[in-house]
Amino acid sequence: MKIDSYKGTDNKSDAYTEIVRDLMRTKQTAILFSCFSLMTIMAIATIASSRAANPDPLQKLLDTKICPGCQLIGADLSAVDLSGANLANAELRGASLTGADLREANLSGANLSSADLNNADLLRANLSGADLSGVDLGNAYLADTDFSGANLSGAEIHHADARQANFNRANLSGANLNRTLLNSANLSDANLNRASLRDASLNRANLDRANLADANLCGAYLRKISQNEANFSGANLRDTHTSRSDPEWSTPEKCTE
């Protein structure tokens, strides 16, 4: 830097002063730039660290099958392999799980209200205490599945295979269980008020203390059921199959209206 370039100064002393000031300003600018760069790097690192610590829940589930309490509202998990997954207390309202493999998955306490699980495989899955109100479980495989204490009010569970499933204390009020296999299922203390079980098979099912008031059991198979203190008031029991001579349920005749 040449002193002569400072033409506006009266003497060399003033020129030196200007030079020093310029250098200080330049140094301050460099320091500010360095600080800004450092802050930017730190911010990016913080965001990256935060993302690493809190990954996208959907991706986390797909990568690890471990996502308890995750927010997965409306997630598309159709035909995904989630066998053995931990989704306890997860938020899955309105999620699509059609054809999903959920064998032995832990969905206890999860919110699956209005979710679509049509054709899903839930063999031995744990859905105890889950909210399944308005869920679609049509044609699903539910053998040995635990629904104890679950809310299945208004659920679509038609044509499903729920043999030996546990519905103890479950709320199935208004649910559609038409032509569903419920052989040896535990429905003790369950609320089946206004539920539809047309042509369903409940052979050897436990209905002790169950509330079946105003339920539609037309054409249902009720062979060797346990019904101690069950409430059938107002229930439609027309054309039900209860005697030992009645065949096991396989392809029953549909109940005529």
3-class DSSP string for 27-64: HHHHHHHHHHHHHHHHHHHHHHHHHHHCCCHHHHHHHH
Between the alpha carbon of residue 217 and those of residues 79, 91, 176, 194, the distances in Å are 33, 34, 11, 10
What is the per-residue pLDDT across 41-81, written as a single tens digit (0 to 9) for each? 555 554 444 444 556 999 999 999 999 999 999 999 999 99
Q: Which residues pair with 131 in a beta bridge?
A: 111, 151
CB 122 within 8 A of CB 103: yes
Residues listed for the chain: 257
| 21-30, 163-172, 178-187: least confident range | 21-30
Domains of the chain, residue spans: 72-246
Q: Cα–Cα distance between 54 and 43 in angstroms, integer?
A: 16
Main-chain dihedrals φ then ψ at residue 73, nearest 5 degrees: -60, 125
Q: What is the mean pLDDT of the chain?
A: 87
The hierarchical CATH code for the domain 72-246 is 2.160.20.80
Residue 193 is predicted with a pLDDT of 99
Q: Cα–Cα distance between 211 and 72 in angstroms, integer?
A: 34
Tokens representing residue 77 in the block:
């998990």
Between the alpha carbon of residue 24 and those of residues 2, 20, 66, the distances in Å are 17, 6, 56
Q: Cα–Cα distance between 142 and 185 in angstroms, integer?
A: 10
Q: Which residues pair with 161 in a beta bridge?
A: 141, 181
Helix ranges (H only) for the chain are 12-53, 57-64
Q: Cα–Cα distance between 71 and 61 in angstroms, integer?
A: 11
What is the per-residue pLDDT across 75-104, written as a single tens digit (0 to 9) for each? 999 999 999 999 999 999 999 999 999 999
Main-chain dihedrals φ then ψ at residue 35, nearest 5 degrees: -65, -45
Instruction: Please say if the pLDDT value at position 208 is more than 70.
Output: yes
